[in-house]
Amino acid sequence: MTAQERDCLKKSVLIKNTKCLCPQCLEVIDAEVIEKDGKIWLKKYCKKDGVFESPHLIAKPNIYHALANMHRNRNAIPEGLILKLTTRCNQYCPYCFTNANERDLYDFDSDGIFKSAGDFKGDVIYLSGGEPTLRDDLFAIIKRIRKYGFKAILFTNGKKLSSMDYVAGLKNADINAVILQFDSLDDSDYIKIRGERLLDNKIKAVNNMQAHAVYLMLYVNIVGGINVHQIRELFDFALKNNNVRILFFNPLWNIGRRASHGSLDSADMLDIVCRELKIDEEYFIDCTRLSTYVFEILRKLRLRRGIKESPCSVSCYFIRYGSGYLPLDYLMDLKKINLFLKRLDQKLALDKNMLFNIMRLIFDRGLYLLLACIFLRKKMLKIFLDNFLYNLKHPKRAQGLYFMFFNILSVMVGQFPDKHTLDLSLIKTCNMHTALGGKGSLPTCLYEIYRDAGKIEQNLTV
């Protein structure tokens, strides 16, 4: 073996064997997860089409290893189910992963929609399209889903939400939250990404939902060379709007209309967000660990049924404080708290009943050490008091008792996998599935990859 070959081997480390999709035939094939040249890669072996190599969905090694080492139940149900209500849309975006308004335009049958909801074992129903607000019976659908005991969350481009009356209808139907397409604060970006000026409409939608105390997630599609410069401005905008709970930055999905594989990947996206918000990757890792352990504990206590945390995104948190903000690690030692949470999580078991887990938690001194670590800190108590006094003077900002004291904005960075980057081991812990019209469901990424290729009807056992 030559010195050059030995150097090459040193740079390439096999992490594990997995399954992937062949990017040519979309068959399930053997693959390896490899670390080399400072990135995580997939090496795929298709008997029909040959060998392929591409970056892993989670391309940053430290992020990949951190997510892989977090405790997750590998057979858990997803928290959310997407119900497609229509293929119709009131926009024709140059970039669109669903190819809206190009194929047959129709509304999905209500019986199939409600059968899918009735069979679902998770917590949240997401209403999607096309553009779901084009359904005349949307409010009735939301009310029925809420009667089933699910949270109802709406995906929308927000055009109809510029009407105060329409938002009042959503509120009266008992919608839990809205995920609003919000790519920029610059109309020239909307023209390039969505094909028209939309900023005034977006601002009206946010203001109307603020007026009706409807919680918001701003979903930002980042397109290389177009709206990357908007990240900091969007962060500042989200902080100022108290009903915005989540700001989600996602690179353009490499499926659908004008798919652009390679424009930005998750590693590029995370680097840009860290630079613009002046934080580091370790903060994302610590916060993601925190939320993963918290939601796993809640799931074992049966306060939640499905997995909430996505295996392909990371989160960090900022506390709205007065007219500004503070990172969560200003108030608490996240690494120490995560150790307590991990130990508590390991003491609870999904195969035990709720009372058993509650009693085990109550009699574990780790719980009280954790609470003391969080709440018996002068900084934390000061933030609680200051936020309470501030919110008394600004009652529109305080939506619920929790937010009187502790008002958090979550910033998420993720990337949806395509046929090149999908590692099928990730879908075992996917937090979101898409319904198949009363015939079960698939992880959403897998559903969209097959739908885009026209193969959604085939046998999809993976």
CATH of the domain at 272: 3.20.20.70
Chain mean pLDDT for the chain: 87
Distance CA 74, CA 175 (A): 31
Does 446 map to a domain?
no
Kindly give, in sequence order, each residue whose CB lies less than 8 Å from that of residue 303, ignoring residues fewer than 6 positions away.
Answer: none
Assign 70 a pLDDT band (cuts: 50, 70, 90).
Answer: confident
Assign 147 a pLDDT band (cuts: 50, 70, 90).
Answer: very high
If we measure between CA atoms, which residue out of 54, 17, 14, 80 comes closest to residue 295?
Answer: 80
Contact indicator for 16, 34 with CB cutoff of 8 Å? no
Q: Which residues of 312-329 are buried (b: 16+ CB within 10 A; e: fewer)?
A: bbbbbbbbbbeeebebbb
Does 251 map to a domain?
yes
pLDDT at 220 (0 to 100): 95
Least confident piece of the model among 49-58, 228-237, 449-458: 449-458
Same domain membership, residue 263 and residue 126: yes
Q: Which residue matches tokens 């019209």?
A: 437
Quick: pLDDT tens for 14-25: 999 999 999 999
Looking at per-residue pLDDT, the higher value among 238 and 264 belongs to: 238
For CA atoms 276, 278, 282, 285, the dihedral sign is: negative
Number of domain units in the chain: 2
Same domain membership, residue 132 and residue 48: no
Residue 322 has pLDDT above 70, yes or no: yes
Of 72, 97, 124, the position where a domain reaches its end is 72
Does 325 map to a domain?
no
CA dihedral 287→292→293→298, nearest 10 degrees, is 130
Quick: pLDDT tens for 21-68: 999 999 999 999 999 988 999 999 999 999 999 999 999 999 999 988
H helix runs in 301-353, sequence order: 334-347
Same domain membership, residue 113 and residue 33: no
Does 358 map to a domain?
no
Assign 457 a pLDDT band (cuts: 50, 70, 90).
Answer: low
Q: Give the pair of three-digit tokens for residue 351.
A: 């195969």
pLDDT at 394 (0 to 100): 57
Distance CA 81, CA 431 (A): 9
Q: Give the pair of three-digit tokens for residue 289.
A: 């660990």
Task: Give Cα 365 distance to the centre of its chain.
Answer: 33
Assign 98 a pLDDT band (cuts: 50, 70, 90).
Answer: confident
Same domain membership, residue 110 and residue 24: no
Does 98 map to a domain?
yes
Residue 267 has pLDDT above 60, yes or no: yes
Does 388 map to a domain?
no
Same domain membership, residue 157 and residue 38: no
Does 302 map to a domain?
no
Quick: pLDDT tens for 402-420: 555 568 899 999 988 899 9
If we measure between CA atoms, which residue out of 246, 265, 264 comes closest to residue 182?
Answer: 246
Same domain membership, residue 166 and residue 41: no
Residue 462 has pLDDT above 70, yes or no: no
If we measure between CA atoms, which residue out of 433, 441, 430, 462 comes closest to residue 72?
Answer: 430
pLDDT at 8 (0 to 100): 46
Sort 266 into a burial class: Cβ within 10 Å, 0-12 / 13-18 / 19+. buried
Residue 435 has pLDDT above 60, yes or no: yes
Distance CA 221, CA 226 (A): 10
Instruction: Please give the model's pTM, rounded to 2 decimal places.
Output: 0.90
Residue 370 has pLDDT above 90, yes or no: no
Q: At 263, which amino acid appears? A: S
208 CB neighbour count, 10 Å cutoff? 21
Least confident piece of the model among 59-63, 190-194, 318-322, 457-461: 457-461
Does 420 map to a domain?
no
Same domain membership, residue 55 and residue 95: no
Contact indicator for 402, 426 with CB cutoff of 8 Å? no
Same domain membership, residue 224 and residue 146: yes
Same domain membership, residue 174 and residue 51: no
Same domain membership, residue 274 and residue 181: yes
Same domain membership, residue 92 and residue 59: no
- What is the per-residue DSSP string for 246-281? EEEEEEPPSSSBT--TTS--HHHHHHHHHHHHT--H
Of 49, 72, 95, the position where a domain reaches its end is 72
Range of the domain at 159: 80-293+409-414
Assign 331 a pLDDT band (cuts: 50, 70, 90).
Answer: confident
CA distances (Å), origin 92, targets 50, 52, 136, 206, 220: 37, 34, 20, 22, 17
If we measure between CA atoms, which residue out of 27, 9, 3, 25 comes closest to residue 424?
Answer: 27
Same domain membership, residue 121 and residue 209: yes
pLDDT at 439 (0 to 100): 78
Residue 400 has pLDDT above 60, yes or no: no
Residue 120 has pLDDT above 50, yes or no: yes
Contact indicator for 430, 78 with CB cutoff of 8 Å? yes
pLDDT at 388 (0 to 100): 72
